[in-house]
Amino acid sequence: MVNEPQTNGAAEVAVGTDGTETAARAVAWAASEARLRGLPLRIVHAAPYATADNKPARRRVTAILGRAYTVAHQQEPRVPAHTEQIDEQPVCALVDASRNAQLLVIGMRGERPSEVVIGSTALAVSGAAHCPVMVVRGRHHAVKPDAPVVLGLEDLAFDASAVTAAFADAQRRQAPLIVLHAQHGTHRDRDSGGHAAEGALVEQLTLWRSQYPQVAVEVRVVHGAPADELLRAAVTAHLVVVGTHGHGASARVLLGSTSRTIVRYSPCPVMVVRWDTVVRDGAPEPSATAAQAGAGGPSGVAPLRDCAR
């Protein structure tokens, strides 16, 4: 049964399409997300090339959006969906589409890691969107019904929004949640402090555990490189959730290094949540700790709110 659409917060799930098979997989995933969230689906195609006097281009737009609508309807017949042509370049079009979305879904080409280009639309949009972004890779990812949601937690002061998104997603899917944190320091420090670090994280997650009592949570403190550990966990995960706040001026256009690596190489879909995003799905607001980080964001970087034209 389809849930009743929620009226609080964002009004839709949005997905971008360019007519490729990868985009079709993203549309199908987005339709399922819309069903889980009880929201309508908005399918957008960036078509600055389709000028009024270019009839072949306009026919191409119609075909692309028509195919995407068919994919969505076949995947989730009861989810209301509509299509829209946006006369902007892809990155700006998708960032704009994220303004009124609870979730933005985009596909990422590349059957093999070596084929993924770091400057792709998916990476640019993930670092600039106004809502969480789900990046769906081009290959099929089959998982067990009880596959977990995996959260990469670096610093709760800046990852509170990602924590909220991960708990909410695990609850929607009735899936367990694995919270993975990479501990820094010497081997001796790691060995002596591992259990203490796990206990501290469990304590810090009390707010979310109380808000989502049905979610089974496992906290793992690991000692390897964060990206490597997350990629290992992603092999058997339903999806991975990562926060991003970047470092230095490049945070205006690129993800932080760990998030960027996960988006490029993860075998399963990845949800990217900017540090300053308010997760609008009826879940708790990000913690006061995150709010106290300051309007300028980590490393003094102002959040990107307007796509440059």
Domain boundary assignment for the chain: 12-137, 149-300
pTM for this predicted structure: 0.83
Q: Is the pLDDT of residue 144 over 50?
A: yes
* Stretch 6-29: mean pLDDT: 84
Tens of pLDDT along 204-234? Answer: 999 999 999 999 999 999 888 889 999 999 9
| Fold agreement (12-137, 149-300) | yes
C-alpha dihedral over 193, 272, 99, 303, to 10 degrees?
50
CATH code at 149-300: 3.40.50.620
Distance from C-alpha of 110 to C-alpha of 269, rounded to nearest angstrom: 13
Query: Regarding predicted confidence, which is higher, 134 or 307?
Result: 134
- For residue range 127-137, what is the model confidence (pLDDT) as tens digits? 889 999 999 97
Instruction: Report residue 78 CA to chain centroid gap.
Output: 24
Mean pLDDT along residues 11-20: 94
**14 φ, ψ (degrees, to nearest 5):** -110, 150
Averaged pLDDT, 103-129: 71
Dihedral, CA of residue 44, residue 22, residue 73 and residue 80, to nearest 10:
-30
- The angle, 0 to 180 degrees and rounded to 10, between the axes of the packed helices 257-265 and 226-234 is 30
Of residues 245 and 37, the one with the higher pLDDT is 37
12-137 CATH fold: Rossmann fold (3.40.50)
